[in-house]
Structure 1
């Protein structure tokens, strides 16, 4: 593709950027990066890749999520064992957004990187990072070519520099689409605020309501790491409940206020929750297996106990987060 004339290259680049956005809208979170890299390889050739997100701690990157493309699972552990000797780290962090080319076979780049390249059959790498100005997390993409393959060029660097912004945006769009799709599968979706985090609890994407809910439970929290570790059991706190679902190497989080009001009986709380979600008498009755008359009796009791006169006030008391 590097032989294209400037106009042809611009058209190919624009088409790729559009295709990345289409993939973000149609691929699930678990497979998006695979398809995005396959599409990228049509414009910028490579044999394998490593796409991830990290935070710099004590001068070294701590990986929060990684996708290895045509690389064995053990590659990440091997790299972590020599990361303090990897010259790539200092070079890309010195100039975020500027891709660097590193020959993994060159003795000048250190025996550790030489060993990693030889162990995994890698020749050159092309790496670029993008640092989020708010979280300071870095998205990084490293493309590899095998020994004997054509060498990366300044043209490839320029191409990756500009593509990386589109790749980061596409990942974000894919996560948001996943949240929207997940909402439709959940019970009472209007009362949920959703987010995506990595296995270490670092938020990757979150609805505004999710942050508000965290702050209601932990007023001093500032992120981007969740205030408590989460697993498949989620979290049941004083003010909020968080449901956790695993998708690939990410966690999808669904948070809601713990809405049980102590002055109501368990059945009255169920009825109040239904009205707080905007349901009709018939819908609440159907969902709870009650007759509409029984629901009307419960709602009259709820009005008396809570001192309210309409369903809108019930919704407010139940603390349903906005859509």
Structure 2
């Protein structure tokens, strides 16, 4: 379909970018890339694809996230075994933003790439990378055609060059939409700052407040990798708390100031947090699964331990910044 006349191609390109925006707004974060690639294939034909994000370490790309489209899961491990011999890596990093065509069957491109192509039934690839100027992470997209399929052309390169920026922007928009949707499901969403990271702890996108919270705990941190490894247990620090939830091959992170009052028991802290957020007795009882009388009992204990006489003072203590 990419060989349309100029007006037709421009219209098809415009429609595709609008469709990518719609997908970014409506698909879950772990289900965005596959339909986006399926839609892309309607304009630029390919049989399979690899869309991922990586960082170059000691001259070799280290994958942080990958989406394989019509490729077996073992493809990534096979590529990892020959990545130091893959001529594609040097060519795309020599000209970021400019797609390159590589014949995986050509002996001049090395026996390792020949082996990979033969093993997975691949003939030719078209690859482009986009390097983020702040994190230096690279988004890469590789499109493959089977042996015997029409060859990729300079026209296809130009098309992919211009599409890649829209694809990167769509991924970012999809992650941001996920953060916004996540915020609505959380208790006291306004007190949270949200982010997305990959399994290696490299931030993919983050609200400004999230970075500020990290710096309050680790003043010398400069990213993009989180200062501590995270799993489903999250992190409980001196100044901040971080909750982590796995979504596909990404982690959604929610950070907030650590307002736990050490004088109180865990349940008393829960009650204090509820009143600190302006909730009524009934709301605190409902949220914590307690009876109103039990909440009143905890509140009396809180008054005694903190030396205060009203809920307004509790709210002040709960929202006080860390020392």
Per the normalisation by structure 1, the TM-score is 0.90
Q: 2:184: which partner in 1? A: 184
Aligned equivalent of 1:33:
33
1:195-214 → structure 2 map (5 Å cutoff): 195-214=195-214
1:317 equivalent in structure 2 = 320
Distance 1:234 1:306 in 2: 34
1:44 aligns with 2:47: no
Instruction: For 1:1-323, list aligned pairs within 5 A.
Output: 1-264=1-264, 266=266, 268-288=268-288, 289=290, 290-291=292-293, 304-305=307-308, 313-314=316-317, 316-317=319-320
Change (3 A) 1:216 1:318: closer
Take 2:266 and 2:116, find their aligned partners in 1: how far apart are those partners? 60
Q: How far apart, CA to CA, are the structure 1 residues paired with 2:52 and 2:253?
A: 20
Aligned partners of 1:19 and 1:306: how far apart in 2? 58
Contact kept, 8 Å, 1:272 with 1:302, in 2: the verdict is no
In 1: Cα distance, 2:309 partner to 2:61 partner: 53
Cα distance 1:306–1:175, how it changes in 2: closer, same or farther (>3 A)? farther
RMSD: 2.4
When residues 50 and 34 of structure 1 are mapped into structure 2, their CA distance, relative to the original with a 3 A threshold, is same
1:314 Cα deviation from its structure 2 partner: 4.2
Structure 1 CA distance for aligned equivalents of residues 309 and 144 of structure 2? 64
Partners of 1:94 and 1:128 in 2: CA distance: 11
Measured in 2, the distance between the counterparts of 1:108 and 1:51 equals 25
Question: Quick one: distance in 1 between partners of 2:202 and 2:167?
Answer: 20
Once the two structures are TM-superposed, the CA of residue 3 in structure 1 deviates from its matched residue by 2.7
- Unaligned 5+ segments in structure 2 are none
Cα distance between partner residues in 1 of 2:55 and 2:318: 40
Distance in 1, Cα, partners of 2:212 & 2:279: 24
Tell me, what secondary structure is at the counterpart of 1:30? Answer: helix
Shift of 1:267: 5.3
Runs of at least 5 residues in structure 1 that lack an aligned partner in the other structure = none
The separation in 2 between residues aligned to 1:231 and 1:239, in whole angstroms, is 19
CA, structure 1 residues 137+167, in 2 after alignment: closer, same or farther (shift >3 Å)?
same
CA contact 2:64–2:200 (8 Å) conserved in 1? yes
Q: Normalized against structure 2, the TM-score is what?
A: 0.90
User: Could you say if the C-alpha distance between residues 263 and 311 of structure 1 is closer, same or farther in structure 2, counting changes exceeding 3 Å?
Assistant: closer
Is the Cα–Cα contact under 8 Å of residues 218 and 227 in structure 2 kept in the other structure? yes
Q: Which whole-Å CA distance do the structure 2 matches of 1:66 and 1:180 have between them?
A: 23
For 1:305 and 1:264, the matched residues in 2 are separated by: 13
Encode CA deviations 1:67-99: one digit per residue, 9 max, x unaligned.
110111111111111111111111111110000
CA contact (8 A) 2:268 2:299 kept: no
